[in-house]
Structure 1
């Protein structure tokens, strides 16, 4: 267990500088701590409390409120399979059972090699793409059992650099084909999020 490393602390300070009130950076810093260790350690929470000027209890209160923050060691790749109503009707339960067989674990467990953790989750707001899932919060849409197996094997073989270990939710943008977005002719996929540009201009 550890506090934030020097490299992580540099990023943390850059994030803090974007906010007029230091404690407003709490949730991004929790994501950062989780990306460092794969889960949010007590030491990291205490360190975050120190650098943004709040109590460790306040950090814990926020960390324990949100499902995406893990308070114990977790797999390098968090597999969340949606079982909301749309996904349920289109085979989510069968997909979860298949995932359990493929990974050799039950829902809520982590593989022995520490590679994958599996959870069934409520709606992840991609109902038109059911059954859908996330791996480290990267969306995978209309997933079949064979596609699930392919994804797992690609990750094991190191072929999915687009899904980093312990991926942070703050870096995610859901992809949607341009023809399904009203009012847009095209999308520059390489462009930074608007909020990031605005924060950069404000510095």
Structure 2
């Protein structure tokens, strides 16, 4: 994975560079957001780590501009820990947010987790027996009948349908659908599964509960 790192603190910039390089990722480094946009235009990265408080351009604005060029995973870094600041970052397209000081290996883990979610959703259409899920418009087709599900329900079903028969733990589903910063509990998964079961009543499709573990979508033949 090629990572663009935009950070005006040289110490943090080098620390992030070393962390990414040790994990086998290549990097492009800059302290200047205008240069970062130019570099990204010339050679798009696979992901980006961007400081919010940059000279000349707010990191959230840079995130928004990069996302307009190419939708890649972006983690924002900031010394600001207030929810309003984080919300602004997410509204500008950030996938995750870390407050300084941070643990470099945790940032690496979060970036790789977000990148994996992007890889899984690169395929926009998933087929599982009579179910066809189209991620482009969150449309579910069941034996020719179209249904529109709430966003989280669709994403949860999409995750299960993309890997039929695989058992996902509640923690995995929370991470993959709600993200690492989800502050609820795993009962949220149970509620959404119950709703999906009530909406999708088809003899060939079963969302199976694996007691003490999680859930799996089974396609009966």
Considering the TM-score relative to the shorter chain, is it more than 0.5?
A: no
Structure with the bigger percentage of strand: 2
TM-score (normalizing by structure 1): 0.28
Return the index of the structure with the highest Cα Rg: 2
